[in-house]
Structure 1
Amino acid sequence: MLKGFKDFILRGNVVSLAIAVVIGAAFTAVVGAFTAAIIEPLLAAVGGVNADGLGFSIRSDNPTATFVNIGALITAIITFLITAAVVYFVFVAPMNAINERMNARKTPVKADPTEIELLVEIRDLLKHGESVTSKSEVAALTDDPTTVDSSGISSTKA
């Protein structure tokens, strides 16, 4: 049971996820400070003389309690977009590129047939009464790009 837990904790995905959570929390603090120090004052300036910022009051008899703060919503959207963009361009895009490169290396390459496999094919053809008489037919069986015609002139397959 402990071995399974150890394998789970040390798996690359769990460690990467833990690192992402820590970095994400730290980055959220930076983006929050940026929006509080720069974006919110700009939105409050656009809102007019009212110090509450961009928004409106639903009831004029209690403006503080019924204030709809559109500036705070815009700030939250900007914070989300900045955070999502940085996470995508700093973490997701590079990891996708690394994974593509790693997967490209893992694609199996079809091996050329061995001499034994070629001899078995020729034997089977001869058993069924088909003849392999010319060098060009042998070259066709071996996927050799160079063929020799009946006159002895070699050429390359297209």
Structure 2
Amino acid sequence: MNAPAPSFAPSSEAFAPWGSPDAVFDRLEGAWNLDRTIEGQASMTGTAMFTRLDTGVLKYREEGRIRLADGKEFDGHREYLFERAPGGFEVFFAEQPPRLFHRIAIVRDGDALAGSATHLCTPDTYDSSYRFLGDGTFVIRHTVHGPRKDYLSATIFKRPSA
């Protein structure tokens, strides 16, 4: 009698903080600490808040302290709107009317849930990836290429300590 083949698929426990791809959107809601690096240019530490609006959309607002490579520091903020989509979410610029930044379809990727998208901001291109990790953190990376911009931005999001 042959023994069953071992399963190399990650256990459902690996995704416990996030659940299924359809559940990620709801689990974003609330407060996060953020730590961003923009290779060779700047860093930022601060907070991000996903607030549910009456429409079901999550309003994203980040605030923090930006430190440039030359040591100069200043406060900064940014806002987006996140809207549920089958298997993921769409991210819009917080302007009137809202304009689509990208749509993220989330899939299982090794020991994480992940999604990616490309946005053309003529003449530059933004390749973005999201990774939702088993420890409850998530990472957003934007690789930007073009004649005006060329950098990698990586932001780690962690829940504030209790």
Query: Does the TM-score normalized on the shorter chain lie above 0.5?
Result: no
> What is the TM-score normalised by the length of structure 1?
0.24
Looking at secondary structure, tell me which structure has more helix per residue.
Answer: 1
User: Which of structures 1 and 2 has the larger relative contact order (alpha carbons within 8 angstroms, sep 6+)?
Assistant: 2
> What is the TM-score normalised by the length of structure 2?
0.24
Q: Which structure: larger Rg?
A: 1
Looking at secondary structure, tell me which structure has more strand per residue.
Answer: 2
